[in-house]
Amino acid sequence: MHKPRLQLQASFDIAYLQYLDQQGRATQPLPDFATPDWLTYCLRQMQLARLVDDRAVKLQRTGRLGTYPSTLGQEAIGVATGNALMAEDIYCPYYRETGALLERGVEIEEILAIWGGDERGQNFEHARKDLPICVPIATQMLHAAGVAFALRHRHQQRGEPLQVAVASSGEGATSKGDFYEAMNLAGVWKLPMVFVVNNNQWAISVPRTAQTATQTIAQKAIAAGMPALQVDGNDIVAVAWAVRDAMMRARCGDGPALIEALSYRLCDHTTADDASRYRSAEELEQAWQWEPIRRLETYLRNQNLWSDANQQDMERELAQTMEAALNNWESRAPEPSTAIFDHLYAQLPEGLYEQYDQLRDEQAGVERQ
Catalytic residue numbers, as ranges: 265, 269, 278
Q: Cα–Cα distance between 21 and 296 in angstroms, integer?
A: 10
Query: Helix 75-84 to helix 36-61 angle, to the nearest 10 degrees?
Result: 120
Q: Cα–Cα distance between 254 and 86 in angstroms, integer?
A: 18
Amino acid at 306: W
CB 65 within 8 Å of CB 112: yes
Q: Around 92, how many Cα atoms within 13 Å sit in the side-chain half-sphere?
A: 24
Cross-strand bridge partners of residue 16: 230
Q: Which residues of 82-93 are buried (b: 16+ CB within 10 A; e: fewer)?
A: bbbbeeebbbbb
Q: Which residues of 159-186 are buried (b: 16+ CB within 10 A; e: fewer)?
A: eeebbbbbbbbbbbbbbbebbbebbebb
Q: Cα–Cα distance between 135 and 113 in angstroms, integer?
A: 15
CB 16 within 8 Å of CB 220: no
